[in-house]
Amino acid sequence: MKSLSAFLALLAPVQAGLRFPCSTLTFQRLDPVVQPGSLPASHVHHIVGGNAFNATMEGDVGERASCTTCQMSEDFSNYWTATLYFKHPTNGSYQRVPVVPVQPLLGNSNGAQGGITVYYTQFDLSKDNLNKQAVKTFPPGFRMTVGSPAASSRPHVGLTYQCLSGNSRGAEMSDFPTKPCTGGIYTTHHFPACWDGVNTDSPDHQSHMFNTINSNGFTNAPACPASHPVRVPQVTYETTWDTTKFNSMWKSGAPNPYVWSFEGTGGYGTHADYMFGWKGDSLQRAMNKSECFYDGCGSITKQAMATANQCTVKDMVGEVTTGWLKSLPGTM
Ligand SMILES: *[C@@H]1O[C@H](CO)[C@@H](O)[C@H](O)[C@H]1NC(C)=O
Ligand SMILES: *[C@@H]1O[C@H](CO)[C@@H](O)[C@H](O)[C@H]1NC(C)=O
Ligand SMILES: *[C@@H]1O[C@H](CO)[C@@H](O)[C@H](O)[C@H]1NC(C)=O
């Protein structure tokens, strides 16, 4: 029996949690969490998810959106990070770094265009442990951020950079790579797993959450404190920035030429924003289910990425964010 179960574990690991691609929705200078109503906001974001995305977002997003760039068709949430730019080492011009799907590394892009791979895990990647730890999902209107563009020290655990080459992702680092990466730069953002259970937001967009995560990777977060007792799904974003066309302009020994869209030259300011928008109780149904596999879960529905790719939002800011730019959008 023992050897049979070991064999089955190898053959079909129970991969607890959702993992799915969301194609790029837009690159715009908008931030309905940190700068609601600002049109434009201070820096360019790379945004995926539902088409209710707007300069201001209130109430039940899942009821207002009509399409999503995510594979899970009931997920109208929006997920975004700052955008990576290459800063030309001699003339100082900027060019936005393209985004490619994360999955080719893992053997399947599902047809995503650019985008972010999103995870909602219940425990870790090999079990759900729902008997010990109930996971409660977010209410309509919920939002949070992790990391900060104003950070002046190395990002905390869970916010990482990796230098891709071949099939290797390389070590998880807390700063930009120091040499060209033939396969691009891979960024990961793990959000906190403990919520105060009351507030859908807080003035700094973080203090309604509590970060107990003490190691990188998909490990179960330690127990939640009394102040933030509610265990929520562990949300993670993965993004692959395709730096290959810039590699030849990064001369050997020269410093890192990549900057975040807020002119963040150190790796310090890496950050991500989350706007909950699952329709009805769909995310809770998924999280209640044991053996909620990587890309499918019980009754929640998926769509073809060819359909997801047709979901768009208007260009609300109307500025050029790509090609060679003399300055980063918003910094003049
Ligand atoms: C975005 O907000 C503006 C101003 O409130 C509104 O007119 C517009 O319909 C909104 N767009 C979407 C897609 O919700
Ligand atoms: C900087 O160099 C790039 C690549 O050679 C070039 O395309 C761009 O026009 C240059 N920018 C300026 C301001 O000269
Ligand atoms: C999820 O599980 C909890 C705890 O067992 C239960 O109270 C809740 O009704 C379930 N929700 C859904 C949508 O299945």
pLDDT for the residue 2: 36
**Position 94 confidence tier, pLDDT thresholds 50, 70, 90:** very high
Q: What is the pLDDT of residue 267?
A: 79
Residue whose tokens read 């060019």: 95
Mutate to test the pocket of ligand 1, among 54, 64, 67, 312 (most ligand atoms within 8 A of CB): 54
Residue nearest ligand 3's atom 1 by CA? 288
φ, ψ for residue 43, nearest 5 deg? -145, 160
- The more confidently predicted of residues 296 and 29 is 29
- Mean pLDDT across the stretch 80-106? 89
- CA 299/CA 294 separation, integer angstroms: 14
- Cα separation, 252 vs 114, in Å, equals 28
Please report the atom of ligand 2 found closest to the CA of residue 326: 13
Q: Are 60 and 50 in contact (CB under 8 A)?
A: no
Query: How far apart are the CA of 273 and the centre of ligand 1, in A?
Result: 20
For residues 93-107, average pLDDT: 81
* Model confidence at 104: pLDDT above 60: no
Rounded Cα–Cα distance for residues 27 and 30 (Å): 9
Which among 49, 270, 261 has a CA at the least distance from the CA of 176?
A: 270
Alpha-carbon gap, residue 57 to 38, rounded angstroms? 12
The pLDDT of residue 241 is: 96
Look at residue 308 and give its three-state secondary structure: helix
- Give the other-Cβ count within 10 Å of 301's Cβ: 13
Could you tell me the CA-to-CA distances from 15 to 47, 72, 231, 295 in Å, in that order? Answer: 27, 17, 19, 9
Residue 127 has pLDDT above 90, yes or no: no
pLDDT at 93 over 50: yes
Residue 100 in this model has a pLDDT that exceeds 70: yes
Distance CA 260, CA 96 (A): 10
**pLDDT (mean) for 189-218:** 96
Ligand 2 neighbourhood includes 91 CB (under 6 angstroms): yes
73-81 average pLDDT score: 97
- Gap from CA of 182 to ligand 2 centroid (Å): 22
Confidence (pLDDT) at 321: 95
Q: Which of 6-10, 47-51, 243-247 has the lowest mean pLDDT?
A: 6-10
> Is 93 a pocket residue for ligand 2 (Cβ < 6 Å)?
yes
Q: Report residue 244 as tokens.
A: 């290959």
pLDDT band of residue 212 (cuts 50, 70, 90) is very high
Q: Identify whether the C-beta of residue 43 lies closer than 8 Å to the C-beta of residue 329.
A: yes
pLDDT of amino acid 15: 60
Q: Which amino acid would we find at residue 101?
A: P
CB 291 within 8 A of CB 48: no
pLDDT at position 222 over 50: yes
Ligand nearest to the CA of 327: 2
* Rounded CA Rg of the chain: 19
Cis upstream peptide for 40 (omega within 30°): yes
Mean pLDDT of 18-45: 96
Ligand 3 touching residue 288 (CB < 6 A):
yes
63 touches ligand 3 (CB under 6 Å): no
Under 8 Å between Cβ of 26 and 43: no
Calculate how far, in angstroms, residue 89's C-alpha sits from the geometric centre of ligand 2: 10
Report the alpha-carbon distance of residue 85 to residue 29 in Å, rounded: 14
pLDDT in tens, 253-304: 999 999 999 987 777 899 999 999 999 999 999 898 876 666 667 678 999 9
Mean of per-residue pLDDT scores for the chain: 90
Most confident of the following: 120-129, 157-166, 203-212, 290-299: 203-212
Neighbours of 323 (CB within 10 A): 9
So what's the pLDDT on residue 72? 94
For the stretch 303-317, pLDDT in tens is: 999 999 999 999 999
**Residue 164, both tokens:** 């891709």
Write out residues with Cβ below 6 Å of ligand 1.
52, 54
Residue % of the chain over a pLDDT of 70: 91
- By residue count, the chain amounts to 332
Identify which ligand lies nearest to the alpha carbon of 323: 2
Which phi and psi (to 5°) does residue 85 adopt? -120, 150
Question: How far, in Å, CA of 150 to CA of 182, rounded?
Answer: 30
* CA–CA separation, 108 and 286 (whole Å): 23
With a pLDDT cut of 90, the percent of the chain lying above it is: 74
Q: Judge whether residue 1 has pLDDT over 80.
A: no
